[in-house]
Every structure is written in structure tokens, then in C-alpha cells.
Amino acid sequence: MEYKWTVLTNTTLGIIMSSMNMYIVLISLPTIFRGLNINPFIPGEFVYLLWILMGYSIILASVLVTFGRISDMYGRARVYTWGFVVFVVSSVLLSVIPSNSGNNGALLLIIFRMIQAVGGGLLMVNSTALLTDAFPANERGRALGLNQISFVIGSFLGLILGGLLAGYDWHLIFIVNIPFAVAGMIWSIFKLKRTHGTGAISLDIAGNATLAAGLLAISLGLTYALMPYGNSSMGWGDPWVIATFPLGALMFIIFILNERKVKAPMFNLSLFKIRAFSYGSMALFLNSLARGAIMFLVAIWLQGIYLPLHGFSYTETPFWAGVYMLPMLVGTVIMGPVGGSLTDKYGARIFATLGMIIIAGSLFTLTLLPYNFNMISFEVILFINGLGNGLFSAPNTTAIMNSLRSLERGAGNGMRQTFNNIGSTISMAMFFTIAITVFTIYLPSHMFSSAISYGLPTQVANFLSNLSPSGLLFAAFLGIDPASALPASLSRELPAKVLTMLDSHVFLPSVLGPTFIIGLRFSIYISVALVLIGAIFSYMRGKKYVIDESSSQ
């Protein structure tokens, strides 16, 4: 086997494992939280849901560039192999968290997922650089397109396995990663060439710390704004929430000042002089910022509202939510290699830009659907969204990597991935906050009037309308009926038919649906605007550009 194909098969295995892990956790979150016995009606419990996802992204955003530099120093294959090792260890730790361990278990889950992010970061930052090194410039688009297919295959496995394994034991969700990680580790040890790095030892610790602190402060502010404060159902008046935003901005300013002066900056600012790199990175950031949380909100829409309304039990919703999201992955599979191959011949600008325009159009079309939508229309929209994502991703990545010299690819790819993960992290916090804030404005009155229309007693309607809106949405996502939130003194006085109504899988989704879709649409409108701005940056990247390594020799 030619070495370039050895690299492709090994990095493919790593990407399958990483993407499978991402989607298996996403689709299985209701099962995980039910296994931990989290009570969604306790104020603030919704935050655990966000931080299982955001904690992973914050770690990636904070360390990827440093990992890229370490790879340049000590050799990419060697550091890449350590990514598999860390992934194995973290997966084992996640698989032994006790069931029914409540908030303590959720905290362990967040911490061990952050450790897993370290392994994922070591793999992510090196896989693209290894491929770029192994393939000649006129074949890189195709190689990265094939690599993108492996991401989609892993996503497909994650969606399906998450739905299947969730019905047995939530620990299996993490155990299933281990064979892939062990196989990848062994394959990389024996087959990847160990190369000498630059040997430099200077790292930008201050840059890592300030970037992480800024992301952490902004993310904490946005998520804790979802928690009740005082007499308000939201926390926007909490002094701590108010303080996090100027604190985060200050950390970002210090980070930029540090990068201008430090000997070995985390961000090689000189790379931004390369037009293809700078505009491609901005397009990637805006695409990630726009889409990072939207697909998770769609997953909540499916699992918490649509599927229960159509008779699916809560043990079945993870599997069927995965099945219904597959058209998006199919679209990406179809267009990813096509976009990569076209980029090799004609350059990235027209295809990446067109991909973003398609994404924006599909997202806008999603806002036209009611909360209880027509399934065919929904699937067509997701498929078109996947086509746009496939057409943007491979060309954009190829153009960025082709603009970098070999010794810059580790750090440059780390910067590219950092932009992606910063966008995803901020997106998760920002769009959830926007959606839940709008949702909170409309839900209490709608809950009261709906409960009365269902024939529930006034005291029950009052009680339900005073529950935390984020808690009610969390409960719908987990499949926990609102009857469990009623005080024992009240539930004992209620007729059996009232308790049966509250226990129904239809009651909570039908009440939440009309107000949830208002918040979701508002978020998607902002998302569409961000994608279109990203399309402008994508077009501004210039014509086809490939670095001439010989010019530096």
C-alpha cells in the first residue's frame, strides 16, 4: 500500500471514532440523564445538558493550536498516536460512572468528557496535517473529501448505535468507542512514519490560559442566564452573569495583546497575511457559529416534541431521531467528495461560497415549518442542508491547507480547528440562550391557558405555569412527565383522569411546541444572517492558490 493510502486509512479510522463519539453522545443525552437520575424540574439542572457538550468544545478551542505546535516540534505521527491513548483512557472512565449518581455523576461526565476532548484534539489537529503532507497538492481535495465521508460514516454510526445502545445500558455509549481507539492506536504505531519535528520547546501558556478564560467566562454567563434569579425565571439580572461578559472581553483583549508580543504565539498572526487562510478561516468560524447549536436544537425538537406527538415512546426517540437526521449526512456524503475533486481542478471559492448559500437557504426554509411538521418536507430540507455543508467543508479545508507551508501546517490546522470550535462553543451558549429567552417570554401564559383548555384544575395550571420553562423543555427532552413535579399534597387531591392527562406523552410536547418553535425560528434567522456573511468572506478568499514549497528552499 502506498504510504498516502496508509495515512488516509488510519486518519479515517480516527475520524470515524471521533465523529461517532460526538453524535452518539448527542443523540443519547436523554438516556444518559435518565440513567444518572437527574431531576429536570430542579432549577439549573438544564445547565448540565449544555456543559456536557460545551465543556468538550471549550477544551478543543483552547488547546488545538498548542497541540498543533507540539506536533510540529515532536512529529505529527507520534502526537497523533497519543490521541488514541487518551481517548481509550477517557472512554473507560466515562463507562464506569455509576448509574443514579445524580449531579455528582453529571459533573464526572463533564470532567471526563473534557479529558476525552484532549484525545480528540490530538487526533483532529494532526489528521488533516498528516493527509496534507502525504498527498500531493492536486490530490488533496479528493483525499479531504474522502476523509469527510469518514466523518459522515462515523456520524451515521453514532446516530444509529446511540439509538440502539441507549435502550440497553447508557454505559455502552462510551464502551463502543474503545475498540476503535485501540485499533487506531495499534495501526498508527506500526504504520505511520515517525518524523523529526522542529525541536523547539517554546509554548504560549499565557495565550492558552487567556483564550480558555475568555471562552469560559462568556459560556458561563450565557448558560447561567438560563437559571432563575430572584423572582425572575431567567438570570440576566444576576451580578455574576453581568460580570462575565466584560471579564470575557477583557481576557480576549489580553490574549490578542499577548499574541503580538510573545516569542512563540499561540496564533501565528503572520498566517493572516495569507488571503486564502484568513478569509477561509473567517468563513469557517461564521459557519460554525451559525450551525453549532442549531442541529442540537433540532434534535430537541425531534426527541422532545415531534416524536412523542407521533406515538413514539421515550425509549425509542433516540433511535428514530437519529434515523430522521440521516438525510443531512447523506447529503454531505454525496457532495463532500464532489466538492473536494472540483476544488482540485478549479479552486475553492465558487464551491465553498455556493455551499454556504445553500446552507442559508435550507435553514431559512426550516423556519417555515410548524412544530408538528410534515416529515417529507423536513427530510428534504435536512438533505439540502447536508449538500450545502458537503460543498462548503472540503473545498474550504483544502484551500486553507494548500495555502500553508509544510512546517506551518500543524499550527495552521490547529488555528483552523480552533476557529471551528470557538464558533461551536459560542454558538451552543448563544443560541440556546436566545431560544430559551424567547421561549420563556411566551410559555407561562400559554402553559396556563393550555392547561385550562385541557380541563386541568386551576391550581394545577398555576403550578405548571410557574415551573421553569427551561426545566419543562429539559423534562420533555428526557421524557419525564410534569406529574412528577407536582407536590404530593396536590397530586393526592387530583382525580385519576388529571394525573393520566399529565402522564400522557402528548400533553407536554403539544403545550411546549408552539412556543418552542418561536424561539427556534428567532435563532435560525440569526443563523441565516451569519451564514450569508460567511459566504461573503468565502468569496473574498481569491482564486485558486497553492503554496509553492520550492520557493522556500
Domain match, 337 and 361 both: yes
Query: Residue 198 falls within a domain, yes or no?
Result: yes
Helices (H), 367-408: 375-402
- Dihedral angle at the C-alpha atoms of 189, 194, 199, 204, nearest 10 degrees? -50
Q: Residue with C-alpha cell 432549577?
A: 43
Domain match, 162 and 235 both: no
Domain match, 365 and 339 both: yes
What is the per-residue pLDDT for 200? 61
Going by C-beta distance under 8 Å and a sequence separation of 6 or more, which residues neighbour residue 26?
53, 158, 162, 296, 299
Contact criterion met (CB below 8 Å) for 25 and 166: no
Query: Residue 478 falls within a domain, yes or no?
Result: no
What is the per-residue pLDDT for 295? 78
Q: Residue with C-alpha cell 516569542?
A: 263
Distances, alpha carbon 464 to alpha carbons 129, 139, 222, 305, 452, in Å: 53, 59, 25, 17, 11
**Of the residues 263, 291, 312, the one at which a domain ends:** 263
pLDDT digits (tens, 9 = 90+) for 190-222: 878 776 666 665 677 788 788 888 888 887 887
Contact criterion met (CB below 8 Å) for 470 and 440: yes
Q: What is the DSSP letter of 194?
A: P
Contact criterion met (CB below 8 Å) for 55 and 113: yes
| Residue type at position 73 | M
Contact criterion met (CB below 8 Å) for 413 and 130: no
- Grid coordinates belonging to 277: 487562510
Domain match, 149 and 49 both: yes
Residue 129: its H or E element: helix 102-134
Query: Residue 161 falls within a domain, yes or no?
Result: yes
Distances, alpha carbon 268 to alpha carbons 208, 261, 280, 416, 433, in Å: 13, 11, 16, 11, 33
Q: What is the DSSP letter of 306?
A: I
Distance CA 178, CA 5 (A): 24
Distance CA 329, CA 153 (A): 8
Distance CA 293, CA 300 (A): 11
Domain match, 297 and 194 both: yes
Query: Residue 217 falls within a domain, yes or no?
Result: yes
Residues (pLDDT < 50) of the chain are: 549-553
Domain match, 351 and 279 both: yes
Domain match, 63 and 130 both: yes
Domain match, 241 and 381 both: no
What is the per-residue pLDDT for 553? 33
Going by C-beta distance under 8 Å and a sequence separation of 6 or more, which residues neighbour residue 310?
none
What is the per-residue pLDDT for 547? 55
**Of the residues 213, 234, 263, the one at which a domain ends:** 263
Going by C-alpha positions, the residue among 105, 103, 114 that lies closest to residue 45 is 103
What is the per-residue pLDDT for 550? 43
Burial (0-12, 13-18, 19+ Cβ within 10 Å), 139: middle
Angle at 187 (CA atoms; ends 184, 190), nearest 5 degrees = 145
- How crowded is residue 552: how many other Cβ atoms within 10 Å of its Cβ? 9
**Number of structural domains found in the chain:** 2
Distances, alpha carbon 337 to alpha carbons 342, 353, 391, in Å: 9, 16, 9
Distance CA 544, CA 296 (A): 35
What is the per-residue pLDDT for 527? 92
The answer to pTM > 0.85 is no
Domain match, 324 and 342 both: yes
Looking up residue 162, the CATH number of its domain turns out to be 1.20.1250.20
Distance CA 229, CA 543 (A): 52
What is the per-residue pLDDT for 533? 95
**Of the residues 216, 239, 263, the one at which a domain ends:** 263
Domain match, 246 and 334 both: no
Query: Residue 28 falls within a domain, yes or no?
Result: yes
Q: What DSSP line would sit under 478-544, residue for residue?
A: HT--GGGGS-HHHHTTS-HHHHHHHHSTTHHHHHHHHHHHHHHHHHHHHHHHHHHHHHHHHHTT-S-
- Grid coordinates belonging to 545: 492558490
Domain match, 242 and 283 both: no
**In Å, how far from its chain's centre is CA 171?**
21
| Residue type at position 277 | F
What is the per-residue pLDDT for 276? 85
Tell me the residue length of the chain: 553
pLDDT digits (tens, 9 = 90+) for 453-497: 888 888 888 888 888 887 888 888 887 878 777 777 777 777 777
Domain match, 181 and 216 both: no
Burial 350-373 (b: 16+ CB within 10 A, else e): bbbbbbbbbbbbbbbbbeebebee
Distance CA 288, CA 384 (A): 17
Query: Residue 278 falls within a domain, yes or no?
Result: yes
Q: Specify which residues 229 forms β-bridges with.
A: 232
Contact criterion met (CB below 8 Å) for 287 and 421: no
**In Å, how far from its chain's centre is CA 366?**
19
Distances, alpha carbon 546 to alpha carbons 247, 252, 342, 346, 543, in Å: 40, 32, 15, 12, 10
Query: Residue 380 falls within a domain, yes or no?
Result: yes
Contact criterion met (CB below 8 Å) for 490 and 463: yes
Distance CA 25, CA 27 (A): 6
What is the domain extent for residue 230? 204-263
What is the per-residue pLDDT for 170? 84
Query: Residue 488 falls within a domain, yes or no?
Result: no
- Dihedral angle at the C-alpha atoms of 141, 145, 146, 147, nearest 10 degrees? 100
